[in-house]
Amino acid sequence: MRGKRRSNRGSTLVTTLIMSGLAIVTATAYLEMATQDLRTASARLREVATMNLAEAGLNALSQDIWREFKINQRFILLDSALTGASPTNPRRVMNGVLVGVGNYTASVIGYQQVDTYTRRLTLRSVGWQDRNNNGALDTNEPRQVLDQTIDLALSRSAVFDYAYFVNNYGWMYGFDNEQLVVNGDMRSNGDFEFRDGRPVINGSVIASPNEKLTPRADGRIIVEGGTAPRQWDNATYASRQNQFMRQAYNSSLHGALGSNTFNLWRDYLYHAEGTMVNNTPFGAVLADVNGTRRFDGTVLDNRPTSELVLPDLNDLNYYITLSRTWRDSRPTFSDGTANPNYNQPASIEVWNPSRNRYERVDTNGVINGSIALIGYRDKPIRIRGPITVTEDVVIRGYVEGQGTIYAGRNVHIVGDIVYTNPPDFRGTNLNTIWNTNERKDALGLAARGSIMMGNTRQFRDPYPLRYMTPPFTRGRYDDNGNWIPPFNALERDYTGRMRYQSAYGNADQSTIEQLSLNVDIDRNGTITADERGISRIDAIMFTNFVGGGNLATDGLGLTVNGTIIAKDEAMVLYSLPLRFNYDWRIRERSLDDNPLINIELPRVASARRVAWQRAR
């Protein structure tokens, strides 16, 4: 039987058409997906770009405000410019363009006075792409809005953590072995050099790179004849400790490194063998541009150091206001006993021998012009709180109480300064040590000009004037690139006198010489050699310019129980030894970030970011 043959051409055509249709649908779907991906990627790129633009605006504005605040170290300009800022009344508007990316507009939309030392700023930045190039943000143009809240504060300065701090090149020339013993830390915002000897430094030495100095400083510790100064081991240090020295670390008393007990004691201890505890150095180290190391050279941290900001006393009106408005804010001491000076204003009293009585010499914490303050052994200067003197302070003798004297020009130390009730850092119970020393005498001396030590009538070249004039003193640039010339002690200022000379008394400095040589501090009818020179200074010394002079001319050497903090240091000793004992009561405690005593030392600008968020 034979069948009939069928044709397959029709079905093949249908299949081809179906497959072609499926391919078209697939291609269309793929193109749609690709297009969507491109749209998503483009949107994401716009989002990232506008976010970066908004961030750039925040950074530009915050850096601009910070730079101004850091230089001025006062709120006056900020208060004037930013008070009343709001989203509908923005202040400090800043516009910027990142070529090829887009635009930003940043401003301050909130300004709050948190307290005397803190201002809280809210910044808003809009990052946007100007598609039509009209220089304005239009409705349909992509954007991102970011808000940032920052606190600007006048904080306690870290420079007060050091027995010796110089905002320039640090130098120790001509001291070997125990001719100089520093019981505390030392730091410079530049190189730190030890020449003609290796003294004993029972603490850290820190140098910092500084491109603002001329010539620039590499930030190196330089030790002639060795790689490190000398130091005492813990046992030697403990055997020689006196009441002004911090204690040597002892694990049986102060706890194992890193323990809770150790953390309470940490800020008040000396340890010869520096080590890293909780990622920060503890004990004596050498730190500079090459990192942090022990005195034996063992490297602890490779990160270089950086400079610290020095407070600026240029705005005397700030301190006048501080003195007039200050009240002792402590109702009780740490042990719970009542503070008899609670809510009392700033004041200073001196004994008047001719009237046989104490006399208050300030008016609401302020003294106009210049003054000589003499404290006798049995009739010390009595100070409470911050005192501002609009010109020069000449001071010597015994001191009782706690406070800081701010000088609108110079502080002239013309004899020993001795606490009537000095601190004592010995003991085994930290709370007892705190409670005892919280009430002991403490004096700050802060000069808008310089702190000159000794009889200025006898200042000569080379000693000490060579170290108070260029090229030994160095110029520098501020953060805005403005040149600040080096200090020159031989220049004359608005008083008509040279900058090292006192504005108090006779222009020929005979008054200063008389106060240096002819005051019976002990009131025993005899002026001893010790009363004709400077062999002891119990004080926290801070100066905008030079701290120095002719010291130890009485043949007794010099002991500083406190600190010397200056832009330039020019201390010349006529006899040895020299001792520094750091007063740790002014150091911020890790426990609560507050010092044991607050004598209203100069503060420095600081910034902290509080919050960051996308506004829309």
Q: What is the pLDDT of residue 1?
A: 41
Which whole number is the average pLDDT over 123-128?
92
Q: Are 411 and 432 in contact (CB under 8 A)?
A: no
* Interval 253-297: pLDDT, tens: 999 999 999 999 999 999 999 999 999 999 999 999 999 999 999
Which whole number is the average pLDDT over 145-158?
92
Q: In this structure, is the dihedral angle defined by the CA atoms of residues 605, 610, 612 and 616, taken in order, positive or negative?
A: negative
Torsion angle of C-alpha atoms 592, 593, 596, 600, degrees rounded to 10: -140
Q: What is the pLDDT of residue 6?
A: 47
Amino acid at 611: A
Q: CA 162 to CA 148: how far, in whole Å?
A: 34
What share of the chain in percent tops pLDDT 70? 92
* Interval 423-445: pLDDT, tens: 999 999 999 999 999 999 999 99
Q: Are 57 and 147 in contact (CB under 8 A)?
A: no
Q: What is the pLDDT of residue 24?
A: 64
Which of 317, 319, 309 shows the shortest CA–CA distance to 67? 309
Q: CA 425 to CA 420: how far, in whole Å?
A: 16
Please enumerate in sequence order all residues whose Cβ is within 8 A of that of 225, keeping only pairs 6 or more positions apart, or say none: 197, 198
Which whole number is the average pLDDT over 221-232?
95
Q: CA 90 to CA 105: how far, in whole Å?
A: 11
Q: CA 253 to CA 427: how far, in whole Å?
A: 10
Which of 343, 342, 344, 350 shows the shortest CA–CA distance to 367? 350
Q: What is the pLDDT of residue 2?
A: 43
Average pLDDT score, the chain: 92
Angle 558-559-563 (CA atoms, 0-180°, nearest 5)?
120
Tokens describing residue 321: 């206001």
Amino acid at 305: T
* Interval 312-325: pLDDT, tens: 888 899 999 999 99
| Phi, psi dihedrals of residue 363, rounded to the nearest 5° | -125, 110
Strand partners, 287: 206, 292
Q: What is the pLDDT of residue 614?
A: 85
391-400, 476-485, 517-526: least confident range: 476-485
Between residues 201 and 130, the one the model is more confident about? 201
* Interval 5-19: pLDDT, tens: 444 555 566 566 666
Q: What is the pLDDT of residue 49?
A: 83
What share of the chain in percent tops pLDDT 90? 77
Q: What is the pLDDT of residue 155?
A: 86
Which of 193, 187, 143 shows the shortest CA–CA distance to 165? 187
pLDDT band at 309 (very low <50, low <70, confident <90, very high): confident
SS3 (DSSP) at 366: strand
* Interval 512-550: pLDDT, tens: 999 999 999 999 999 999 999 999 999 999 999 999 999
Torsion angle of C-alpha atoms 448, 453, 458, 462, degrees rounded to 10: -90
Q: What is the pLDDT of residue 5?
A: 45
Q: What is the DSSP string of 231-274?
A: ---HHHHHHT--TTSPEEP-HHHH-STTSHHHHHHGGGEE-SS-
Strand partners, 546: 568
Residue 87 Rama label (left phi>0; alpha psi -120 to 50; beta):
alpha
Q: What is the pLDDT of residue 21?
A: 61
Please enumerate in sequence order all residues whose Cβ is within 8 A of that of 167, keeping only pairs 6 or more positions apart, or say none: 188, 189, 310, 566, 567, 568
Q: Are 585 and 597 in contact (CB under 8 A)?
A: yes
Angle 592-318-477 (CA atoms, 0-180°, nearest 5)?
90
Residue 549 Rama label (left phi>0; alpha psi -120 to 50; beta):
left
Q: What is the pLDDT of residue 597?
A: 85
End-to-end CA distance of the chain: 86
